[in-house]
Amino acid sequence: MPQHPLDKFHFCPLCGSDRFVVNNGKSKRCEACGFVYYFNPSASTVAVIVNEKNELLVVRRAKEPAKGTLDLPGGFSDCYETSEEGVVREVREETGLSVDSVKFLFSIPNIYPYGGLDIHTIDMFYLCHVNSTQNAIAADDAAEIMWIPWEDVKPETFGLTSIRKGVQHILAKKIHNI
């Protein structure tokens, strides 16, 4: 039987009781105060950016998990931020590029290992348009950025499972030709 997603959480976040028990497959319940905490996926964004030469913007991961492997710009949405705002912010933080429009493509559920926990995410892929690619720089979580022609994009070189699946989906559906 797989480990319950909240197994590492032993105390009720509301009252602090240690009588925090599995309620069902998605939640834990406090036997002391009755609070039920549901475990839901975190929102994460992925940017698909194509330049005028029909090349994909790819970053090399600067941090674990999958440090040193290829990735697409993106990351977790912040509180009080829409997913669209999150992808725009993440692209700016990782590449210095300004996104002027986003179009939702699809989503993929994912498990992102972080700090000894498996963070369940829903990775939302967006086709992002930028006015200029001239000032692209690697920053924040990106160690390097590169533009790769679509015919040279190899899904197996992407270190995170959901990104690899997303790249496979994009290639299979020819979404990059939109």
Q: For residues 119 and 112, give the distance between their C-alpha atoms in angstroms, rounded to a whole number.
A: 5
Q: Does the annotation mark 144 as catalytic?
A: yes
Run of H or E including 166: helix 161-173
Catalytic annotation, pick one of 64, 81, 85, 144? 144
What is the Cα gyration radius of the chain? 19
Residue 66, helix vs strand vs coil: coil
Instruction: Please state whether 104 falls in left (phi above 0), alpha (psi between -120 and 50) or beta.
Output: beta
Beta-strand ranges (E) seen in the chain are 20-24, 27-30, 36-38, 42-49, 55-61, 70-71, 74-76, 99-114, 117-130, 142-149
Residue 30, helix vs strand vs coil: strand
Q: For residues 58 and 176, give the distance between their C-alpha atoms in angstroms, rounded to a whole number.
A: 14
Q: Looking at the annotation, which residues are catalytic?
A: 144
